[in-house]
Structure 1
Amino acid sequence: MAEKVTIEPAVWRTIWAVMVGGIAVLLDTTIVAVALHSLAADLKVSVATIQWVSTGYLLALAVAMPVTGWAQRAIGAKRLWLIALTLFLVGSILSSLAWNAESLIAFRALQGVGGGVMMPLMGTIVVQTAGGKNIGRIMSIVGLPVVLAPILGPLLGGLILQNLDWPWLFWVNVPVCIAGLVLAALFLPKDNGLTKTHFDLVGFLLLAPGLVAVLYGLSNAGKEGAFTRFDVDGPLIGGLILVAAFTMWALRHKGRALLDLQLLKYRPLSSAATVQFFAGLSLFGAMLLVPLYFQELRGTTALNAGLILAAQGAGALATRSFIGRLTDKVGPRWLVVAGFALVLIGTVPFAFANTSTSWVLLIATLFVRGIGLGTVTVPLRTVGVRGLPRADVPDASIISLVSQQIGGSFGGAILAIILTGTTAAAITAGSQSALVGSFQQAFWWTSGFTALGVALAFLLPSTIPVAPTGIEQKGEHA
């Protein structure tokens, strides 16, 4: 008889404390994404200007993420979580009080700093509290906000814009953040045994601007001219040079670098980071296309598009009851292979879709795609940290998240280039069939990225060792 898997009460309390705070960050991202056109109109600025509400937030995330591991070792996980959630709360209140586009962009960047710390810290706190036990099941629970945000965010954003003024897009975060702060203060484990730790200023000055430049360049790639533009190529090349310089610096300064890249010698982490990049490329980059298809080709409102997209979220949610246990039992490789294959099955029909394709078929396809997303994300989040010493979990989480973030931005940029170019030609020609063809072409590219993900998933280990080999283990700092 199989041994019953149980999660200790202290771990459950930690899970719920970080989930409540985490849902505020993830909901905010999806709520604002559907509101950019309304914000541009209300604040009387161009869409290109208001896009910085999202871009500034993304760049602030890139600055904050790399310092999270050091900050956790320096001040403790609980204190850092409370500080980051407080920053996000203050940024939300200030955003709701913004008097123009420039002030809103600045306050969203403050939110991004808090969110950039919370995203890697969320999984780290729970993994360290659990002591490495039942990680697959725990990650499937902690990942619930990632699943719920794409369902609830567009719906909540649409309802707010339909019935209230835009400041409520940010006021809605306030009660959630306050509840998260109370739960975190009560239930997160106390910070014990802190050790004075060195801050790698040189590494920060290389990595943070490097990531910002790469993401900024990719965010401009959807404009006319794409990779021939200086505001794309300049930041992208400069950013890659800085990231390469940080890599050399980190490898030369073992144990003292901002991120311990020696951890990439641990095969489960290095393979997971590689697949995370392509997961961001194929899974999350494609999220640009689906709502645009429904709004531009099928004429649905943003709210109705959000309702349709709930089918994808429901599919991902359906996997939560079993995918964590399966990850703990059978390992990540075959689950991720199967997940990417389901995403591919849920994407290819859109490459054939036109203005009269059955709604039932498309909604069923989105549900299957959601099952695939849920099947991929939990094993990938688990494989990179399972088996690592407690002190290495923060850096491992950051490496995986940064890889996924860059992959998602790169995928979004490539798909935006494809869609923008073909759509402009279709509009100029005044041809509806050409417009349909432009979306079909973009979905074929997405299908190709996903097929590549199926192949790369074979890089993942079939089982995960209990302890890593071939890397230097740091002492406990948090």
Structure 2
Amino acid sequence: MNTRTTTARSAGGTAPRDGQPGLYATAAVVVLGSLMSVVDTTVVTTALPSLARQFHAPLAQLQFVSSGYTLALATVIPVTAWGIARFGAKRLYLTALVVFALGSALAGLAWDLPSLVAFRVVQGLGGGLLMPVGMTLVIRAAGGERTGRAMSLMGIPVLIGPLAGPPLGGWLVDTASWHWAFFVNLPVAAVAVPLAARLLASERPTGAGRLDITGLLLLSPGLALLVYGLSRHGAPLPTVAGAALTAWFARHALRAERPLLDLRLLAQRRFAAAVGAQVLFVAAYFGSMILLPLYYQGLRGFTPTHAGLLGVPQALATGITMQLSGRLADRVPAGRIVPVGIGLAATGFLAFTLQVTADVPVGHLQLAQVVMGVGVGLTMMPNLAGATREVAPAQVPMAATTLNILQQVAATAGTALLGVLLAAAAGAGPGAVPDADGFRHTYGWAVALMAAALLPALLLPRGRRDGPRGVTDQAGPSQT
């Protein structure tokens, strides 16, 4: 038995064997499911102005279409590691696909804004499991020496989703109706579910022990109240209550034997640095996604289809760079890649922000977006690959779960913060759109968050070293 197989099995994983799918078969299934989730996010973002008109909703309320989804993602992700051990990764992944498809169908049938937000939460419960469970499946199939390549494969949805989602969303809204921004997921799910049932490796659940009910009852409502408070202009009661419950969860997690999230991982300085950089970067990048279609459609007057096409150069730059950087991360330490990526992304973001007016040539804005896209591609996957290398093999599922939930919380908080700032600039009336100064002010906060991510990124490892517990940097974490 070789070293990789021994390490994988000692971590509770399964090495590839005859009759089991390899990396590319597993990745194909996982990428399809993740693609459905990413495309959904970008399609819905493009459709937001149409939803505002359909439901006569101001921006302050409309943002719940996005934040309700991401909040549901954040609240369900903590049970991922427990769910994998209790039910098996394949079964949990199939469940996630079905729940996401059900939420999509219901959202397309929504009759008012509250019902749409409620059905987006159902979508989020399925979508929240897709990425962490899929990441576990791909890492298991990858083996230690192909971690960077596995992360680059996981980045394919980030290439295709933002590339296809905005034009697709615009075309669906222009030629059909807003309902198809959600119904579009159903044919993809119809392909993904049978493929997952056929191609993913079956496994025997390892036994999860007792679920940390105390942690779940503290963390989920704590996150919900915190994000709700932020989205309501910092409403003091829910914000303080959410922060208190979240802090109580942190105290509980540091003392419990089997916590819902093992926050003790953050005591590892380099893992904490990767988490800090990822959280700040994600808050800025994904939080700002709500702004672009509102700027192009609301202030510039472009159609949804035209506005979607204007996002293609940035998405293409991100996706191509991400595929290259994922493979580069197998040979070059994260500390030599990620700070460069953050610096480029922040520079592109700043150049875009300074040019935002009601009549600037879109080519000037797209050039800044391409620089931003290259920076994003150099940041996201190398940082994730570097983070998983900083923990022992047996800790990878919990580390992936921790990273995913903190990312989703950051995306939700960033969306809420920037949505509130933009709504304040626009005024309270339904369909009100801020002027160019309002957009520049709001984008300025995103630039500041992105620049702040550079500080923890400078603490990432810059040299080759032995990995945790004898796993080398070259091998990265073994299968889990």
User: Taking structure 2 as the reference length, what is the TM-score of the superposition?
Assistant: 0.86
Which residue does 1:452 correspond to in 2? 452
**Aligned match of 2:68:** 56
* Number of residue pairs the alignment of both structures matches: 451
Question: Would the aligned equivalents of 2:67 and 2:412 in 1 still touch at CA under 8 Å?
Answer: no
Structure-2 separation of matches of 1:217 and 1:47: 16
Structure 1 residues without counterparts, runs of 5 or longer: 1-7, 221-225, 471-475
Partner of 2:382: 379
Q: Does 1:285 align with 2:251?
A: no
Deviation at 1:77, TM superposition (A): 0.6
Q: Among 333, 342, 345, which residue is 1:343 paired with?
A: 345
Equivalent-residue separation in structure 2 for 1:206 and 1:122 (angstroms):
26
Distance apart, 1:185 and its partner CA: 1.3
1:390, CA displacement in angstroms?
4.2
CA distances 1:87-140 after superposition (whole Å, capped 9, x unpaired): 112222233334444443333222111111112222121112223221112101
Partner in structure 2 of residue 68 of structure 1? 80
Q: Name which of structure 1's ranges 73-82 and 455-464 shifts more when overlaid on structure 2.
A: 455-464
| CA shift digits 1:37-63 (9 cap, x unpaired) | 433544576766555433332232222
Higher relative contact order (CA 8 A, sep 6+): 2
1:404-437 per-residue CA deviation (whole Å, 9 max, x = no partner) reads 2233333334434444444559x9xxxx9x9333
Q: Which amino acid aligns with 1:378?
A: M
SS of 1:113 mapped into structure 2: helix
Question: 1:289 Cα deviation (Å)?
Answer: 3.3
Which residue of structure 2 aligns with residue 16 of structure 1? 28
* Equivalent position amino acid for 1:90 in 2: L
Q: Distance in 2 between matches of 1:55 and 1:345?
A: 27
Shift of 1:313: 0.2
TM-score, normalised via structure 1 length: 0.86
**Percentage of matched positions with identical amino acids:** 37
Report SS of the residue matched to 1:35: helix
Indicate the residue corresponding to 1:331 in structure 2: 333
Give the Cα separation in 2 of the matches to 1:67 and 1:372.
Answer: 32
Q: Kindly tell me: are residues 178 and 113 of structure 1, through their superposed partners in 2, closer, same or farther at Cα, counting changes over 3 Å?
A: same
The counterpart of 2:116, out of the listed 97, 104, 125, is 104
Q: Distance in 1 between matches of 2:425 and 2:64?
A: 25
Q: Distance in 2 between matches of 1:182 and 1:55?
A: 30
Report the counterpart of residue 403 of structure 1 in structure 2: 406
Equivalent pair of 2:42/2:165 in contact (CA under 8 Å): yes
Aligned to 1:264, which of 266, 269, 273? 266
Q: Give the whole-Å Cα distance in 2 for the aligned partners of 1:388 and 1:18.
A: 23
Per the TM alignment, residue 451 of structure 1 is displaced from its structure 2 partner at its CA by 2.4
User: What SS class does the counterpart of residue 300 from structure 1 fall into?
Assistant: coil
Q: Output one character per residue of 1:200-226: Cα deviation in whole Å (capped at 9) or x when no partner.
A: 111110111111112222222xxxxx3
Tell me what 2:435 maps to. Answer: 435
Conserved? CA contact 2:170–2:305, under 8 Å: yes
In structure 2, how many angstroms separate the alpha carbons of the residues matched to 1:257 and 1:414? Answer: 29
- 2:204 pairs with 186, 192, 206, which one? 192
Q: Does residue 79 of the first structure (1) align with residue 91 of the second (2)?
A: yes
CA distance in 1, matches of 2:195, 2:175: 31
Deviates more, 1:11-20 or 1:53-62: 53-62
How many Å separate the matches in 1 of 2:49 and 2:448?
Answer: 31
Letter in 2 for 1:459: L
Give the 3-state SS of the residue equivalent to 2:388 in structure 1.
Answer: coil
Distance in 1, Cα, partners of 2:118 & 2:427: 32
Question: Which deviates more, 107-116 or 346-355?
Answer: 346-355
Considering only aligned residues, what root-mean-square deviation do their CA atoms show, in Å? 2.9
Match of 2:177 in 1: 165
Q: In the alignment, is the contact (CA less than 8 A) between 2:97 and 2:130 conserved in 1?
A: yes
Contact 1:128 1:393 in 2 (8 A): no
